[in-house]
Amino acid sequence: MVINDRERPVPAVTIADVARLAGVGESTVSRVLRRSGSYSEETRDKVLRAVSALGYVPNRIAGALASTESDLVALIVPSLANIVFPDVLRGASVALESSGFQSVIGVTDYEEAREEDLIASVLAWRPRALILAGLEHTDRSRAMIAASGVRVAEILDLDGQGIDHVVGFSQHAAGRDTARHLVGRGRRRLAYLGIRLPGDSRARKRHEGFLAGLAEAGLSPADQELVPAPSSAEAGRIGLATLLARTPDLDAVYFVNDDMAIGGYFHCLAEGITVPDRLALFGFNGLEVGQALPQPLSTIRTPRYRAGEVAAGLLLAQAPATVVDTGYELVPGATS
């Protein structure tokens, strides 16, 4: 630890200073800076000169208060611990930043109560719009949103009733399609490997869809295991080892996500378990790294970036409440 030396000035250039230096009225400065209304070329130059001479930075807090609208968009996500939600943020922020909006983010850790708190504090900033993950929210969250009149986009889920815009796909269907795919390839002894994270409603819906898909074929899971959160490759390795120790004759495992499935694949590599002949592995998300494995992972590729992008687009366009099914892509890969 070293101490930097540093002065701390406390300036405060306001629009009045700029107006004075430029020899014009405050509203004229405001017009020039916002390119609204009309002003002469000459006035504009005077103003801009004054702005840069003073190093004036407009105060959006005052601007937002006066105009009663902000350029803030709030994004509240469950987690930043794997690449899924950063991908969503990326898609949204490209759209938002190119339109001059600012992103305010919050992380719920998959807890509805935490989400509620974040919604409350973020609404205090009167954001132009709100992006949330999933369709499950507390009653108070819904009430606050309704009372504020803020536009909302809920993303990455389609199984339920939305508040305003909904952009995503059916998690249930994804789970069911996975079961159908594996059963279609002749698998009969299937297991599910998830994590203990009650707040992850999307994972729960996939799981339910998977069981429904098995039931369609008259099957029930040969085994199931939930390892402690967070999901990780290491957790996938361990979880698969546990499953196989308990139920050696499994012929397929559905992992809650690719991170876990990749770990499962490594377990097979290390133990000499032939994939997919002896055991099929199936993930979820379609992460890049899974596709670079010696055998590309069988998985469902989800439109995360696109969901963020589309949600932001609807919000920016002030579109009427819309439901967009972005779909997903089942990637057969080489592990099933």
C-alpha dihedral, 232 to 230 to 197 to 278, nearest 10°: 20
Beta carbon of residue 4, minimum distance to its own copies (angstroms, whole number)? 4
Residue 178, amino acid: T
Beta carbon of residue 184, minimum distance to its own copies (angstroms, whole number)? 28
Using rule CB under 7 A, residue 63 touches DNA: yes
Cα dist from 48 to 16, 59, 100, 251, whole Å: 14, 16, 20, 71
Residue 98, amino acid: S
Q: What is the Cα–Cα distance from 179 to 191, expressed in whole angstroms?
A: 10
Binding-residue pattern over the window 21 to 60 for DNA, x denoting contact by CB under 7 A: --xxxxxx-xx-xx-xxxxx-xx------------x-xx-
One residue of 21, 262, 297, 307 binding its own copies per CB under 8 A:
262
Report the partner that residue 67 touches, choosing among DNA, its own copies, none (CB closer than 5 to 8 A by kind): DNA
Report the partner that residue 236 touches, choosing among DNA, its own copies, none (CB closer than 5 to 8 A by kind): its own copies
Residues 11 to 40 in contact with its own copies, rule: CB under 8 A? 11, 13
Which is it for strands 223-228 and 190-196: parallel, antiparallel or unpaired?
Answer: parallel
Nearest to 72 by CA among 111, 49, 105, 41: 105
CB-based contacts of 289, cutoff 8 Å, min separation 6: 258, 262
Nearest to 209 by CA among 243, 176, 234: 176
- Choose between 148 and 224: whose C-beta lies nearer to DNA: 148
One residue of 49, 52, 53, 65 binding DNA per CB under 7 A:
65
Report the partner that residue 232 touches, choosing among DNA, its own copies, none (CB closer than 5 to 8 A by kind): its own copies
Using rule CB under 8 A, residue 121 touches its own copies: yes
Beta carbon of residue 335, minimum distance to DNA (angstroms, whole number)? 56
Using rule CB under 7 A, residue 125 touches DNA: no
Nearest to 157 by CA among 300, 325, 309: 325
- Choose between 34 and 246: whose C-beta lies nearer to DNA: 34
One residue of 259, 261, 300, 303 binding its own copies per CB under 8 A:
259
- Please name every residue paired with 195 in a beta bridge, in sequence order, or none if there are none: 227
- Choose between 45 and 97: whose C-beta lies nearer to its own copies: 97
* Pair 286, 300: CB distance under 8 Å: yes
Using rule CB under 7 A, residue 207 touches DNA: no
Report the partner that residue 100 touches, choosing among its own copies, DNA, none (CB closer than 5 to 8 A by kind): its own copies
Tokens 């916002």 locate to 34
* Tokens (6 digits) for 193: 């490997």
Using rule CB under 8 A, residue 274 touches its own copies: no
One residue of 113, 215, 269, 317 binding its own copies per CB under 8 A:
269
* Tokens (6 digits) for 285: 């998300």
- Choose between 17 and 154: whose C-beta lies nearer to DNA: 17
Residues 168 to 207 in contact with its own copies, rule: CB under 8 A? none
Q: What is the Cα–Cα distance from 81 to 2, expressed in whole angstroms?
A: 31
Tokens 């801009």 locate to 48
Beta carbon of residue 230, minimum distance to its own copies (angstroms, whole number)? 9
Binding-residue pattern over the window 77 to 116 for its own copies, x denoting contact by CB under 8 A: ---xxxx-xxx-xx--xx--x--x-xxxxxx---------
* Tokens (6 digits) for 16: 């009045």
Rounded to 5 degrees, what angle do the CA atoms 174, 179, 181 make? 90
Report the partner that residue 31 touches, choosing among DNA, its own copies, none (CB closer than 5 to 8 A by kind): DNA
- Please name every residue paired with 192 in a beta bridge, in sequence order, or none if there are none: 224, 254
Instruction: Give the footprint of DNA on this chain (CB under 7 A).
Output: 12-16, 23-28, 30-31, 33-34, 36-40, 42-43, 56, 58-59, 62-63, 65-68
